[in-house]
């Protein structure tokens, strides 16, 4: 048997040693939310662990944790994703700079009369 054969497949990733929430930072907006006592307690413990595992302040650790948890929830919620994609299909966004243009006039009709006094001859 040849043991020098190259292994097929994706290489195993390094085991995580720190918080999963420390991926990215974005601009912030303040939102207040009430939590149950149990969740608030666990949230405080987790945020403290994030703070210890990084150079984040307590406020940044809490914010980063909540952002990650919500982003993950939104990503995994299949019904929410389906609703988002169906509403996007129903009303595609139009560019803000796009203005409706009048339909081109027929070559057999005279040009439309302008109501602007500056353009009268």
How is the chain split into domains, by residue range? 36-92
pLDDT-derived band of residue 104, with 50, 70 and 90 as boundaries? low
Q: Over pLDDT 90: what percentage of the chain?
A: 36
Predicted pLDDT at 59: 92
Predicted pLDDT at 17: 73
Q: Are 50 and 21 in contact (CB under 8 A)?
A: yes
Residues 31-56: pLDDT tens digits? 899 999 999 999 999 999 999 999 89
Predicted pLDDT at 50: 93
Q: Over pLDDT 70: what percentage of the chain?
A: 67
Q: Are 25 and 57 in contact (CB under 8 A)?
A: no
The answer on pLDDT for 63 being more than 60 is yes
Q: What is the arithmetic mean of pLDDT over 44-73? A: 92
Report long-range pairs for 94-97 (Cβ below 8 Å, ≥24 apart).
none
Predicted pLDDT at 111: 60
């Amino acid at each position: 048997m040849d043991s020098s054969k190259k292994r097929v497949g994706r290489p195993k990733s390094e085991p995580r040693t720190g918080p999963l929430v420390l991926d990215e930072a974005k601009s912030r907006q303040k939102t207040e939310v009430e939590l149950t006592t149990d969740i608030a307690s666990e949230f405080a413990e987790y945020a403290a662990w994030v703070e210890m595992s990084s150079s984040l302040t307590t406020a940044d650790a809490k914010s980063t944790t909540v952002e990650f948890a919500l982003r993950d929830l939104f990503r995994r919620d299949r019904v929410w994703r389906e609703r988002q994609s169906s509403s996007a299909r129903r009303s595609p966004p139009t560019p803000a700079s796009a203005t409706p243009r009048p339909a081109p006039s027929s070559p057999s009709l005279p040009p439309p009369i302008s109501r602007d006094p500056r353009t009268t001859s």
